Each structure stands twice: as C-alpha cells, then as structure tokens.
Amino acid sequence: MEKRGHTPLDMLVIMKDGKEYLKQIDFVPGFPEKPLSKKEHEERFRDCVAFAAKPIGNDKIRKIIDEVDNLEAMDDVRNLISLLEAE
C-alpha cells in the first residue's frame, strides 16, 4: 500500500464457504483526491458533535452550519466562535 500513498484502504472478507470479497480504496473520502460534498461535511459534523461532553441542541447545530456556510460574508468571526463555546 505504500506505493499507493498514505491513505489507501484494502479490506478482504473471507466467508465461511471460502468466498473472498476484496474492496480497495486508493483515496478515502475527505482527501483532496476525493472531496466530501456539502451534505457529507454536515453529516460528519453532526456525527462528531453527537459525542460532545455537553449535548449541543439542533438549533445551535443549524446556526453553526449556517455561519460556516456564510463565512466569507461574516463581519465578525466571534459570532461563530461564541456558538462553538461550551455553555
């Protein structure tokens, strides 16, 4: 796998009857060669915040996503930072 870069994935599943299934991925999702869609980014974010020590409500999650979507137009990044702070 070193010849294919540092992120390839090879998975071999051998069934009880001896059949083998091999799946090879040269570039994992999220790397420049295989970028995530906006929807996939949101799903990863929501998955990550689900493990937060203090739960983050859906309204706050939506506000964070909205702020990031409009980052270029933001006058003051502190608005986003305040949403990321623990309550």
Q: Please tell me the pTM assigned to this model.
A: 0.66
Residues 66 and 47 in one domain: yes
Range of the domain at 23: 1-35
Residues 28 and 44 in one domain: no
Query: For the chain, what percent of residues have pLDDT higher than 90?
Result: 53
CB-based contact 54:61 (threshold 8 Å): no
| pLDDT higher than threshold 60 for residue 25 | yes
| pLDDT higher than threshold 60 for residue 8 | yes
| pLDDT higher than threshold 60 for residue 1 | no
